[in-house]
Chains A and B, each alone.
Chain A
Amino acid sequence: MKQENIRPGDLAWKCCKCGLKLEPALVTVEYLGNEFTAELPRCPGCGQVMISEEVALGKMAEVEQILEDK
């Protein structure tokens, strides 16, 4: 599985609620009626997903621009 959205340091984080180390997982995100899957760091306990600043301001922002382009 590709881990294009996960930097090695991201997996050093622990979930503040469960105390578990984040693991790479395929998650589905929804924006403006469109669904995407992406490999992101996720807590194996509660399922909370971490989106790094780099992904949020990079790929996520580009998707937002594509979908709101009008």
Chain B
Amino acid sequence: MPAEPNERVGEAGGASLCPQCLSLIPSWRERAGTEVYQVKECPRHGRFRALIWRGPPDFDSWRRPKLPARLDHYECSVERGCPFDCGLCPEHRQRTCTAIIEVAQGCDLHCPVCYADAPAQGGPEPDLALVETWYRAVLRSAAGCNIQLSGGEPTIRDDLPKIVAMGRGLGFSFIQINTNGLRLARDRSYVAALVKAGLSSVFLQFDAASDRAYQRLRGRALLAEKLRALDACQEHGLGVVLVPTIVSGVNLDQVGPILELARERSPTVRGVHFQPMSRFGRYPVNLTENGRLTLPELIMAIEEQSKGLFPAASFRPPGCENALCSFQGNFLLHPGGRVHPLSQDHNPDCCPRPEPAEQGALRAIARAARHWAAPPPGGPPARAAGGRAANSPAQPIMLDEFITLARQRTLSVSAMAFQDVWNLDLDRVRDCCIHVVSPDGRLVPFCLYNLTSAGGQKLYRP
């Protein structure tokens, strides 16, 4: 049983929403040992407590303060105040790094877990003219950002290559699809058409390296299809990011096997982006605060299950979004199996200097393009970086060899902890850089767009 929190941490004046009625209410943080909770109180529905940090790395060390970004153009003005005026409004503190455009409502998988709560049969899909208005809305507010085409399941559309080509034609240089991979697995000509249209990267839902977790989270065995999707991407030279939704007690034990598979499938697999389960959209009804997986627990699971190949100290808080929202590390995969962390140990001094948020966003945009797309041609043969060798002491490497390896065999390992109505922190939300394009062309922070109350009431999603 966790100890009763009794020490307040951080600044006063926090705010969140009541999980029952979505009213704006005060929130604060309390610490109990190495656990940190967000506590909030609604005058009508009482007190709520959500775990936001557990264990090492130390909560107080995990900081990366930023100077707020100011946009040239805000689509909305401040009327009711955050989080009711998205977006974006002048209270927001970060520009868009990735704009998510939902091009399909329906999905061919209908998982028990779905942030977007996508139906098996969606309504009519947005036509190309409407999709173009969304692209243009992004250009107005966030030119130069990356694009993720999502849904629903975007690959249920036969004209998805046209949507990709349209985005490229409008000047977006990095376009990714967020997919379950089923169509990529069975339709190689579709993959070829996407590549020809200018697709940069595939964000592939990938919860495990065995079938048990797929049964629980997705409703059926899917591993064989996921691997066929990877084969198709390899054949057509598409970079892939594996995206596991991680649930304690369901697939936390798959962190190590997924990283092992990622190493074996490099350079087709360019990154692994873990997403601890959040409680919005469709999620298991028995998922409670006790089962919430925090970022530090995930960092430690990565180190432990990879037997130290991906050490905890090599992960850093982000330079783009709020420090409490994610971690990231880049790793060089040497032939023979050694894994070389490229990020520096995160060991901030007492008062890290605030960095301009906009510069962090611009770096993140460029980093995604470099690390999540396929590498340039050439380099060591595929799968040369796999194997089970333990990390040996680093030997100096030739400069040219290092550059070639870094271009070809860098694996990005990251995670993002989404906020649901239980742990929503408006201070974090205002730093958000992942924005969903609403049907009327506004940019809404991802967590707010998907947020649902305990009773299923939506804040923004239609």
Contact = CB atoms under 8 A, between A and B. Distances in A.
A33 B330 contact: no
Given A32-B344, A67-B342, A69-B330, A4 B400 contact: yes
A54 interface: no
A32 B345 CA distance: 10
Contacts of B410: 66
Contacts of B367: 69-70
B343 A70 contact: yes
Contacts, number: 56
Nearest to A33: B344
Interface stretch (A8-16, A17-25, A34-42): A34-42
List the 6 shortest-distance A-B pairs measured between CB atoms, nearest first: A38-B399, A35-B396, A36-B399, A66-B406, A37-B396, A37-B398
Contact of A36 (B316, B344, B397): B397
A12 to B, nearest CB: 23
A63 B342 CA distance: 10
Interface of A: 2, 4-5, 28-29, 32-38, 59, 62-63, 66-67, 69-70
B396 A28 contact: yes
A38 B401 CA distance: 10
A70 to B, nearest CB: 6
Interface in B345-403: 345, 363, 367, 370-371, 394, 396-400, 402-403
Nearest to B364: A70
B399 A70 contact: no
B398 A36 contact: yes
29 contacts: A4-B400, A5-B399, A29-B399, A33-B344, A33-B345, A34-B342, A35-B396, A36-B396, A36-B398, A37-B396, A37-B399, A38-B398, A38-B399, A59-B400, A63-B399, A63-B406, A66-B406, A67-B342, A67-B344, A69-B330, A69-B342, A69-B363, A69-B367, A69-B370, A69-B371, A70-B316, A70-B318, A70-B319, A70-B330
Given A59-B400, A62-B403, A69-B330, 10 more contacts: A5-B399, A28-B396, A33-B345, A35-B394, A36-B398, A59-B399, A63-B399, A66-B403, A66-B410, A67-B344
**Chain B interface residue bracket vs A:** 20 to 34
Contacts of A28: 396
Contacts of B316: 70
B328 A37 contact: no
Contacts of A36: 396-399, 402
Contacts of A2: 400
Contacts of A33: 344-345
Nearest to A26: B398
Given A28-B396, A36-B396, A37-B396, A70 B402 contact: no
Given A32-B344, A70-B328, A63 B402 contact: yes
Nearest to A4: B400
Given A66-B406, A70-B319, A37 B343 contact: no
A52 to B, nearest CB: 13
Contacts of B370: 69
Nearest to A55: B399
A38 B400 CA distance: 8
A14 B344 CA distance: 37
Contact of A70 (B345, B363, B397): B363
A35 B400 CA distance: 13
A61 to B, nearest CB: 11
Contacts of A38: 398-400
A63 B371 CA distance: 15
